[in-house]
Amino acid sequence: MKSVFQAILLAATISLFSFQPSNAFKLEPISRTFKPVGSGSTQSYEIFNPSNERVAINISMVHRLVNKTGQESHSPADDDFLVYPPQILLEPNAMQTVRVTWVGESEPTQELAYRLIAEQLPINLNPPSALKGTSSTGKIKVLMRYVGSVYIKPEKVKPDVVLAGLENMQSPKGDAQLALTFHNQGTAHASLRKLQLRLIAEQGEVLELTPEQMGEMKNATILAGKQRQFRIPYPANLNFKPVKATFTFQQPD
């Protein structure tokens, strides 16, 4: 399969024609949790082509890196996984099972976070015409792209989130803001589902923030051992003075 894929990829690269297919594909599930050893170290994904044209799909694995402000970056992690098949030519209305096996560290001390990236490539599956006296200018661009969550979760790991910082700030435009820094001191990722956040003013006044006031903070994911800082508009009905805060959230089993 790989040699066939490479041959078609080469044909597309040297094609002189503009090729912009409208077909797409579906990947399920979008999130998987692996065990570092045993039967749980292999998981299956289903890729379905609902269109009337063949699609070419490439699958890769990357490390998931998230900084304090929530910006995500990736680095190659294909050596930590065995993906079969890593490239697919999927017929119209067909489905393909992809098996992914963890082959990295067998005894990690905390949960590890990765991404599975499935990309649709607009490859011209028809042979290119041979035109004399013309140079090759074909290009390949990714159309559909799925970025799935992958966690390698050893036994007895769990999140432990604390509010590590609470600071009054101003935006570049001078608007009053409140910066909250959460630190996941635990060994597994935390999802701030059904987050409830209460601010306590110096005078003892308590304000529970609404989901709209919390913005991207609600349902945010904080990876094991990492920090996330969120800036929200300072509540209009509180004086711009130092406040304290308490919070709760629902962490799924």
Which runs of E-coded beta strand occur in 20-144?
A: 26-28, 31-34, 42-48, 55-66, 72-76, 81-84, 87-90, 95-102, 112-121
pLDDT score, position 117: 98
pLDDT score, position 16: 29
pLDDT score, position 9: 41
Second CATH level (architecture) for the domain 161-250: Sandwich (2.60)
pLDDT score, position 252: 67
- Domain coordinates of the chain in residue numbers? 2-152, 161-250
Is the fold of 2-152 the same as that of 161-250? Answer: yes
Mean pLDDT by 10 residues, the chain (253 residues): 43 35 80 96 97 93 96 97 96 96 97 97 63 47 86 96 94 91 97 94 86 92 97 86 90 68
What are 228's two structure tokens?
Answer: 């996330």
Domain 2-152 has CATH 2.60.40.10: yes
Burial class (CB in 10 A: 0-12, 13-18, 19+), 20: exposed
pLDDT score, position 205: 85
What are 48's two structure tokens?
Answer: 């379905």
CA 253 to chain centre: 20
pLDDT score, position 2: 46
3-state per-residue secondary structure call for 130-199 = CCCCCCCCCCCCCCCEEEEEEEECCCCCCCCEEEEEEEEEECCCCCEEEEEEEEECCCCCEECEEEEEEE
pLDDT score, position 129: 52
Say whether the peptide bond before residue 29 is cis (omega within 30 degrees of 0): yes
